Chains A and B, each alone.
Chain A
Amino acid sequence: MSRRRVLICDDAAFTRNLLRDILGEAGFEVAGEAGNGREAVERYRELKPDVVTLDIVMPEMGGLEAARVILQEDPSARIVMCSAMGQRAMVVQAIEAGARDFVVKPFQPGRLLEAVERALA
């Protein structure tokens, strides 16, 4: 069985490293990384990953807009938002934008993996 492929998008290199370690150790293939929403859209087109993690607040293009663009082009895309902005209003906006789940930073590895698995289910 091929490893499930994930695209990681966060403007913080530190968080990208953290996500890469957690997901890699759990058996996912980290197909690519992006530092902002615009890069995430481009990398999604190129890599067609099984799931994408998106931060919300990023320079150039934020995660909410990136989620809308990706889902417009591929309605079957599976997106997990991963952000410190855990206010109810932001979670609602993320779900309305099409995210399958929302992980509030800082997170435990188990919570992230649960969200990614749920998005893939």
Chain B
Amino acid sequence: MGAGHAAAALAELLDRLVLVDISQVRVQEPRAGRSERSRGAASRDPVATVAMPVMGDVTGRLHEVFPGGTCARLAGLLTGGGIVAFPEGFGELEQSALKEAANIVATAYARAITEFTGVLLILGSPAIRISPAALAGAAGEVGNDDAPSVLVETGIRVFAEDQPVGASFVLAPDAPSVAALLRAIGTP
């Protein structure tokens, strides 16, 4: 449901047909307890992580992790140019475009969660961090130290693009909010 909302939002933003693959969803254990193996292999490629605070009925953070290839193609589509070299070609406008796309897609996910659970999620201002190869953190690196988080891996196909773009969304509610979310979906 969230992926469908997100695809519709991205299609509107890019003015192109966007298809979304079935999302892979898993619950990640608190970061402090994760083994190196469960964190997954750290990416060798640079990534952009857009993070925004979650407010409303639940609190926490939402992270979106974009592989470098996705950043390059999305920024190109959004700014009307060709593929933008990432990260060296990412100036203020490209970062702003990616942040805004991330904000719109994340808000679509948040809206779906609100519709599904009745729990209001309000997202704060996004902040972007570009990690060079040596520091690249995969989606498995983000989340809370003391509470589980929900990882959604989504593949997105933009019509007329030869390669799909993909992103990982990590909803990391604060510990008290995990219980609130579980109650909202009827899980004891």
- List the A residue with the shortest CB-CB distance to B53: A57
Determine whether the beta carbon of B125 is less than 8 Å from that of A11: yes
Interface of A is mostly: loop
Identify A85's interface contact among B9, B79, B99, B122, CB under 8 A. Answer: B122
A26 within 8 A of B: no
Would you call A106 and B107 a contact (CB within 8 A)?
A: no
**How many whole Å from A12's CB to the nearest CB in chain B?**
4
**Listed residue (A12, A17, A107) with the most chain B CB atoms within 10 angstroms of its CB:** A12
A14 to B99, CA, bound (A): 9
Closest B residue by C-beta to A84: B107
- The closest CB in chain A to the CB of B121 belongs to A87
Give the Cβ gap from A108 to chain B, nearest Cβ, in Å: 7
Residues of B within 8 A of A107 (CB): 12
A89 at the interface (CB under 8 A from B): yes
Task: List the A residue with the shortest CB-CB distance to B103.
Answer: A84
The interface of chain A, by Cβ under 8 A from chain B, is: 11-15, 17, 57-59, 84-87, 89-90, 105-108
Residues of chain A lying within 8 A (CB to CB) of residue B79: 14
Distance in angstroms between the alpha carbons of A90 and B124 in the assembled complex: 13
> A55 to chain B: closest CB distance in Å?
10
Contact partners of A86 in chain B: CB under 8 A: 107, 111
Indicate if the CB atoms of B96 and A105 lie closer than 8 Å. Answer: no
Set of chain A residues within 8 Å of B114, measured between Cβ atoms: 87
Contact A87 B78, CB 8 Å, known A13-B92, A14-B96, A15-B100: no
- With contacts A14-B96, A84-B107 taken as known, whether A106 is within 8 angstroms of B12 at the C-beta atoms is yes
In whole Å, how far is B184's beta carbon from the nearest beta carbon of chain A?
A: 15
Known contacts A59-B125, A106-B9, A108-B12, A12 near B99 by CB under 8 Å: yes
Q: Which of B100, B108, B110, B122 is the most central at the interface, judged by chain A CB atoms within 10 Å of its CB?
A: B100
